[in-house]
A and B are shown apart, each in its own frame.
Chain A
Amino acid sequence: MPFTDHSDLFGAVHEDGINRLVRHIMRQRPSLFNYATPFFHNNAGLFCVKFEVDERVLKAKNPLFTEQEPLPILGAPVPIGLNFCLQLTDAQIDFHPGNVFGLPPELGALPAQRFALRLKGCMGIDCPSKEIIDELLPLIERFLVSQQQLAIGEIKERVPGISTHYTPPVAAVDNRERPRTIPLPTRQLICFCLELFAVGHFEWGSVPGSQQIWLKTRLDGLEIVDMQPNDMESAIECYLTTVLKLGILPRLIIPLEKMVLDVNKEFQEMGLTLGRTVTLQPSAVPADVPNNPAVEEDQLKAFMKLIITGGA
């Protein structure tokens, strides 16, 4: 059957293509998917999950991760922290029918006209050894006493032999003149990974103030696998759902013309100004097609009508 049986223009993208595209982006822009303290520049072997990097990235000496401040040790009188890494290691999409990965029982089978998303993230946090803590503890205590920063009472005794002000080393002050947190020495990290599954759908819609039609991604359900206790899981899932709905998915809306063909722009690039206005509109549901956009046969499909207005 022709693709344009019930429409003027048709566009489809297969889940395999999107998943390959994501893998290319992960290899060529690793800093979008890996976040860690600068310690990892010389200790890449301590990342929770090894990741592939494209040769061009290495050749250009691009950072393999986005630098983060160490995880601060709350209450410490000086800005010290722990090295950590946060990695998005897998991202896959599965258009109906589900056959790329299985969904957790909480989300059930992938319904018709829906897509599933699987994200796997791993985090590693340094756990300081007993020796390091035993070594630092007297210094911390001495600093607190000298600074009169104890929780109970005022100390009459003056403790000598330690500086009264913490002055970070020059190298620890970045260009924005903000004192950086000093990480504790790290030998190994404790890693854990979480898998997140989401189910959603696509729809056409408008944006207030815009004349265009936009393809929007909508979230129907979200599940984090094997997290306890249940209330914590629910709270985190609720938070992530809100982040996705209000923070990430609104950034992923696509104007209809960009999906297939921006006719006016194409002609303008050819140096030709059209005497009429050529626009695209989604084909009507159910008059023209049963679903639009359609998520079926492992593809996202869009059916469009060509509207020509103005002129003779």
Chain B
Amino acid sequence: MADLTVAVSESAFQRLFVVLRDSIRWEAQDSTSFGPFTAGYHVKGHLEGGSVDFRSDNSVLVDELDVRWDMFQFTLGLDIPEICVGGGCIDMPWPFPDICLPRWCVFSANPDVSISPDLAAFVAQELSVAGRPVVRYYDASIPPPLIDPCGLLRDLLVNASVIDPFPDHNQWHIFLNPDFIDLDLFDFADIVGNLIENALTAAVTALLPGGWVRDLILAIIGGIADFIRWLLDIPDEIDEWLSDLFNISFGLGDLLIQLVGEFFGACVPLIRVDDPLEVLAKEISTSVLLSGSPVELVAVTVPVRNLFVRVDDVEMVVQADVGG
């Protein structure tokens, strides 16, 4: 029997997933200029849908998580050099006033030509990923291999301050090793479904006053749009089913994404647990000596043994022992 056991039910995980999904929102914008040309973007998005399923083969499936864009706007601009005609004055002898010609300029704005299409309605992605937790022990005393692809990736991420460097002491590492990743860069089912639903909803809202009749029709429209989404999503469902069955991603894009995912899954741990683990921090005590002189007491650490993570169809369990 393990010294420490922590278990999370699938139901709790699913509710946490919803909270987490609804809390994730992102927004980014930037612009730059290349001489007379300017380019910029403003994107804003969130996550929708999706589900989490614990499976009896020690894996977790995140299924059909939708990436939705509230704004997907790209700006391209061109600043044409200003061209002016006219202007200037003709000096006239007294008592006649000077004659000044009007001045006309074109291309005075900056940029003069700009387009900013918002493609949010036409862009949607859907992600399905299955993976399993893998626990490995990092022994800091063992030198890295001569050719260390993981080390190269880690160094890049460490330099970019994405992850902390590996320490000089031992650790337990928990990785998420992906079985398959299916990313639909253009989720046609949802794009078409959303367009139809939005168009019909706008038309009905404009035609009918508020009330139960309008609500009923809108509900029917929602049902129709869902049916269209389901119908158009059938090929993708088959693709995901096959990917899940054979534990490999189909399609060149998905295969590349899976390769990258597996690289991360093998090289970048999601969770690190120090071994030995600090249970009492080092402290400066003035009560140990009668003189009251400060003494730095060393941290109390305990060895962590047999760290183990498993998933079955009802729960995720983490267990560990305290070493002797």
Cross-chain contact B5 with A11 (CB below 8 angstroms): yes
Measured in the bound complex, the distance between the Cα atoms of B5 and A297 in whole Å is 13
Of A3, A16, A63, which contacts B317 at CB under 8 A? A3
Least CB distance, A259 to chain B, in whole angstroms: 9
Cβ-based interface call for B293 (8 A): yes
Q: Is the CB of A9 within 8 A of B3?
A: no
Which of the candidate stretches B88-96, B142-150, B243-251, B294-302 sits at the interface with the other chain? B294-302
Q: How far is the CB of A225 from chain B (nearest CB, A)?
A: 28
Tell me which residues across on chain A come within 8 A of B302, comparing CB atoms.
20-21, 24
A13 & B4 in contact (Cβ 8 Å cutoff): yes
A202 within 8 A of B: no
CA distance A56 to B288 in the complex (A): 17
Measured CA separation A68–B4 after assembly (Å): 37
For residue B220, CB closer than 8 A to chain A, the reply is: no
> B203: CB under 8 A from chain A?
no
Question: Smallest CB-CB separation from B323: which chain A residue?
Answer: A20
Binds A, one of B19-27, B114-122, B170-178: B19-27
B6 touching A10, Cβ below 8 Å: yes
User: How long is the Cα–Cα vector from A66 to B19 in the complex, in angstroms?
Assistant: 50
Q: Is the CB of A17 within 8 A of B7?
A: no
Stretch at the interface among B9-17, B71-79, B152-160, B190-198: B9-17
- Residues of B near A149 (CB, < 8 A) are none
Segment touching B, from A75-83, A136-144, A174-182, A248-256: A174-182
In this complex, what residue of A is CB-closest to B292? A175
- Give the Cβ gap from B28 to chain A, nearest Cβ, in Å: 15
In the complex, what's the smallest C-beta–C-beta distance from A56 to chain B, in angstroms?
5
Given the interface pairs A14-B2, A275-B22, the reply to whether A8 lies near B290 with Cβ below 8 Å is: no
A94 close to chain B: CB less than 8 A? no
Q: Is B208 an interface residue (CB 8 A)?
A: no
- Whether A9 contacts B24 by the Cβ 8 Å rule is no
Q: Mark A1-41, 1 if CB is under 8 A from B, else 0.
A: 01110011111111011101100110011010000001000
* Interface status of A232 (Cβ within 8 A of chain B): no
- Does residue A150 face the partner (Cβ distance < 8 Å to B)? no
Bound-state CA distance A306–B279 (Å) is 26
> From residue 267 to 321 of chain B, which have CB atoms closer than 8 A to chain A?
279-280, 285, 287-293, 295-302, 312, 314-315, 317, 321
Q: Which of A26-76 contact B (CB under 8 A)?
A: 28-29, 31, 38, 54, 56-57, 60, 62-63, 66-69
- A160 interfacial contact with B, CB 8 Å: no
Known: A175-B292, A306-B16. A3 touches B7 (CB 8 A): yes
User: Quick check: A306 and B6 within 8 Å, CB to CB?
Assistant: no
Confirm or deny: A278 has a beta carbon within 8 angstroms of a beta carbon on chain B.
yes
Report chain A residues within 8 Å CB of B287: 66
* Interface flag for B322 (CB, 8 Å): yes
Interface size on A, residues (CB 8 A): 53
Please give, as numbers and ranges, the residues of chain B lying within 8 Å of A2 by CB-CB distance. Answer: 7, 9, 312, 314-315
A272 in contact with B288 given A4-B7, A20-B323 (CB within 8 Å): no
A11 to chain B, nearest CB (A): 5
A92 CA / B185 CA spacing, docked (Å):
59
On chain B, the residues within 8 Å of A274 by CB distance are: 19-20, 23
Cα distance, A201 to B321, chains bound together (Å) = 24
B20 with A67: CB separation less than 8 A: no
Any A CB within 8 A of the CB of B202: no
The answer, yes or no, to whether B242 is at the interface (CB within 8 Å) is no
Contact residues of B between 198 and 240, Cβ < 8 Å to A = none
Chain A residues in 8 Å Cβ range of B314: 2, 4
B315 with A67: CB separation less than 8 A:
no
B8 contacts A25, CB within 8 Å? no
Q: Is B324 an interface position by the 8 A CB rule?
A: yes
Which listed residue (A174, A175, A261, A297) contacts B6, Cβ 8 A?
A: A261
When A8-B11, A14-B2, A29-B297 are in contact, do A176 and B292 touch as well, CB less than 8 Å?
yes
B304: min CB distance to chain A, Å: 11
Nearest neighbor of B303 in chain A, beta-carbon distance: A24
Residues of A contacting B105 in the complex (Cβ-Cβ under 8 angstroms) = none
What residues of A have a CB within 8 angstroms of the CB of B323 in the complex?
20
Q: Are A14 and B3 in contact (CB under 8 A)?
A: yes
Task: Give the residue of B4, B290, B296, B300 whose beta carbon is less than 8 angstroms from that of A69.
Answer: B290
Question: Is A263 in the interface zone, CB < 8 Å from B?
Answer: yes
* B3 near A4: Cβ-Cβ < 8 Å: no
Q: Which residue of A lies closest to B296 (CB)?
A: A60
Q: For A9, give its contact among B12, B20, B322 (CB under 8 Å).
A: B12
| CA gap between A273 and B19 in the complex, in Å | 10
A298 touches B (CB below 8 Å): yes
Beta-carbon contact of A17 and B4 below 8 Å: yes
Q: Which of A212-235 touch B at CB < 8 Å?
A: none
Residues in B with CB closer than 8 Å to A56 are 298
Evaluate contact between A10 and B290: CB separation under 8 angstroms: no
A276 pairs with B19, CB closer than 8 A: yes
* B83 at the A interface (CB under 8 A): no
- Cβ–Cβ < 8 Å partners of A28 in chain B: 280, 298-301
Contact of B324 among A20, A25, A66 (CB under 8 A): A20
Kindly state whether residue B99 has any CB partner on chain A within 8 Å.
no
Give 20 new A-B contacts, CB below 8 A, not counting A14-B1, A175-B293, A312-B22. Answer: A2-B312, A3-B5, A4-B12, A7-B9, A9-B9, A9-B12, A10-B5, A14-B2, A14-B4, A16-B3, A17-B322, A20-B322, A31-B285, A63-B289, A68-B290, A274-B20, A274-B23, A275-B22, A297-B1, A306-B12
| Residues in chain A within 8 A of chain B (CB atoms) | 2-4, 7-14, 16-18, 20-21, 24-25, 28-29, 31, 38, 54, 56-57, 60, 62-63, 66-69, 174-176, 180, 260-261, 263, 267, 272-276, 278, 297-299, 306, 308, 311-312
| 5 nearest CB pairs, A to B | A17-B3, A8-B12, A4-B9, A3-B7, A10-B7
